[in-house]
Amino acid sequence: MMRRVLMDHGRRQKAKKRGGPPSRVTLDEHLAPSVPREVDLMALDEALDEQKARIVELRAFGGLEVEETAEALGISPATVKRHWAFALAWLQQRLSDQRSELR
């Protein structure tokens, strides 16, 4: 649900700007204490198919473990791990790119 709220907010902001850049959300300080980081939620949503997005919702926002996520979605724990690794790698790459731009 949190992902949907954030995505709707991003779409509204983008609509207000008539094609401007998507809104960015700064991660909590305890997650990134050394470098201020922002995540392009619209790009994240576009990078993930529905199943990967649901896994991210359940793990990141719901706090579920791999096995709990697999059970909730009716898929194998291996699939959850694979999709979770993809989402984390994508996010790490984007944050790394942003860090490079700051230098």
| Span of 4-13, 25-34, 66-75 with lowest mean pLDDT | 25-34
- Looking at the structure of the chain, the number of domains it has is 1
Residue 36: band (very low, low, confident or very high) from pLDDT cuts 50, 70, 90: very low
Q: The domain containing residue 26 runs over which residues?
A: 2-102
Query: What is the C-alpha separation between 48 and 58, in angstroms, rounded?
Result: 14
CATH number at residue 61: 1.10.10.10
- pLDDT of 103 > 90? The answer is no
